[in-house]
Amino acid sequence: MEIVILRLGHRPERDKRVTTHVALTGRAFGAKGMILSTEDESVKRSISDVSARWGGDFFVKTENWRQALQKWKQNGGKVCHLTMYGLHILDVLHEIRQVQRLMVVVGAEKVPREVFEIADWNVAVGHQPHSEVAALAVFLVLLLGEDALRTRFEDALLEIVPSERGKKVLRRSEKNGKK
């Protein structure tokens, strides 16, 4: 399944850290990239740097949210808007798993009513106030299963070696890919 995140309503002066965490979460748990509704070069640079060191080709680009949603749907994709007001994820997960291309809308500020109407699913991972980063993580893990928890990137320059205690990181040479 191809998954792209649409970060809606990003306010650079206020949401930079949370938006970066939305991208990091998406990257770590199986999304292909993130579309920002507002230009923010620092978020793009930060995620590009993480991908260069830790692997993968996760993209961050800026696009008008209406156009991004319209283009996505015109190309056969489906849209899932994460909102605590939506249907419970466990009630619609089986439907969402059937699609090939999924755009996951993650809001920052108040989400326009139009998004609720455009979305194929308005989904809640819980019906209580919570973090959009947590909602995205729970959603992706439930959607993709255990594979989302074991994401590895073959082109990684850095890779964590699981250990009971301490920190172990493999460092590969940038030139020859050797450990």
CA atoms in the 13 A half-sphere facing the CB of 86: 28
For a pLDDT cut of 90, what percent of the chain falls above it?
83
CA atoms in the 13 A half-sphere facing the CB of 35: 19
pTM here is: 0.92
Radius of gyration of the chain (CA): 17
Domain 2-171 has CATH 3.40.1280.10: yes
pLDDT of residue 175: 43
Structure tokens, 26: 């998406």
CA dist 45 and 1 (Å) reads: 26
The model's pLDDT over 84-114, given as tens digits with 9 standing for 90+, comes to 999 999 999 999 999 999 999 999 888 999 9
Phi, psi dihedrals of residue 51, rounded to the nearest 5°: -65, -40
User: Per-residue confidence of the chain (179 residues) as pLDDT tens digits?
Assistant: 999 999 998 777 777 789 999 999 999 999 999 999 988 899 999 999 999 999 999 999 999 999 999 999 999 999 999 999 999 999 999 999 999 999 999 998 889 999 999 999 999 999 999 999 999 999 999 999 998 998 889 999 999 999 999 999 999 876 445 54
Structure tokens, 96: 């969402």
